[in-house]
Amino acid sequence: MADIADTSTMQRASSTDTNTRVPASGAALMPLAAVSMAQWRALSERAAEPNGYYLPEWELAVNASAGGRTDAAALGAWRDEKRLIGLVPVISMWRAYRIPLPALVSADPYGTLCTPLLDADMAEDAVASLLHSARQAGAHALIFRATSLEGAAMQAFTEVLRRDGMQPLVLQSHVRACLDANADAEILLREALGQKKLKELRRQRNRLAEHGTVGFEVARTPTETAAALETFLKLEASGWKGQRGTALGQDEGDATFIRRAVPALAATGQCEIVSLRAGATPVAAAIVLRHHHRAFYFKLGVDERFARFSPGVQLTLDLTRHLCADPDISTVDSTANPDHPMINPIWRGRLAIGDVLIPLRRNDPVVALIRAALALRGAIREPARRLVHFIRARQEKS
């Protein structure tokens, strides 16, 4: 059995050539950076379910430099040497949870979604191959963190497991805000917020206009997004995230990742930065990813000197109108906390998200041990997590 307390053992069994297309003979995993960009890009175009955070330009940038998120392994499925049909970036259970048990865990893509990429034309074949590779690596379970529970990817895993007399185990779940971008934006906002709240927001916008004409801008090209990103980084660092030390620009590795990923995805039409200005002064900016018919609201930065005018809400209202007017987008995932005080009242749709344990062997006592260890860890950490989220929510609301 391979030692999966540290996936680097298995990575060394794979070729380290950056042009590698499939794992070396006998290897179940390979370094994520060694996956063919062309094959990964082709898989993302055929993906059964979109995930902007597992697009190659994004995840490879995360894997190269983002703090605490580098050096993941690739659990992949190939139809032959030329067609990648499934991919999950993974790390060991020890690295993810400090639990020394034989499981592989979806790598954190610096965005709260780890839904695997599966080829829509052969999703179940991809799942079967991924499960086989995980067993070869010595794993007894796969753990997908922050995964869509009702999408095509989990349906494929559920069906393949069912044929083997098994089923996915949901470890924890919640719902978070999403936007139905097929709706009329004005009707949606009126139904969500009500006339009284919208009137108050219009009053705040008029007051903001006293500092200069209020304008909504969208940066789309690599050059435009690179410039807009610097504005975003300054805004984010100027607020409470900067005070807490968690703004993207405050960590060298994180800053390197986002400066690499944004223009690279803009070049494929899969990233844009929206901003709100009062005259020449930027008061809010946000990064939005796109994959197929879905958009992902990654991060928001605001100038808190204008807090009394609700710049983050004002930008989100304009973003809502912008995405509802786009025929290529049908759904927008907020990728926010389930109790987010700003986005929940505006976007009233909900997506079911959860951590899912995928057993690899039927009636395996090791799987029961893995599940029990995660339950104990959750019971210990949950009160602290709730307190942190409560404090952050109060900060954002204020």
Given this chain, do its domains 8-174+353-397 and 182-329 carry the same CATH topology? yes
Query: What's the confidence (pLDDT) of residue 23?
Result: 62
Classify the C-alpha dihedral 104-3-35-133 as positive or negative. Answer: negative
Q: Rounded to whole angstroms, how far apart are CA atoms 179 and 185?
A: 10
- pLDDT the model gives residue 8: 47
Instruction: Name the residue ranges covered by the structural domains of the chain.
Output: 8-174+353-397, 182-329
Q: Hey, how many other C-beta atoms are within 10 angstroms of the C-beta on 344?
A: 18
How would you write 152-168 as a 3-class SS string?
Answer: HHHHHHHHHHHHCCCCC
- Which pLDDT value is given to residue 142? 98
Asked if residue 34 lies in contact with residue 60, where contact means CB atoms within 8 angstroms, the answer is no
**CATH 3.10.20.30 for the 8-174+353-397 domain, yes or no:** no
> What pLDDT sits at residue 7?
54
Residue 261 to residues 107, 268, 271, 364, Cα–Cα distance (Å)? 17, 11, 9, 40
CA dist 263 → 58, 105, 346 (Å):
10, 29, 29
Cα–Cα nearest to 87, from 96, 100, 97, 77: 77
Task: Give residue 196's pLDDT.
Answer: 97
Q: Are strands 281-291 and 271-278 parallel, antiparallel or unpaired?
A: antiparallel
- Burial of 261 from C-beta contacts in 10 A (0-12 / 13-18 / 19+): buried
Q: Which helix (H) or strand (E) holds 219?
A: strand 214-219
**CATH second-level architecture of 182-329?**
3-Layer(aba) Sandwich (3.40)
pLDDT at 82: 84
0.75 surpassed by pTM: yes
What's the rounded Cα separation, in Å, for the pair 297 and 293?
14
pLDDT along the chain (398 residues), means of 10: 45 36 65 97 98 98 97 96 94 97 97 97 98 97 98 98 97 97 98 97 97 98 98 94 89 97 98 98 98 98 96 98 98 95 96 98 96 91 65 56
* Helix, strand, coil share (%) of the chain residues, nearest 5: 45, 25, 30
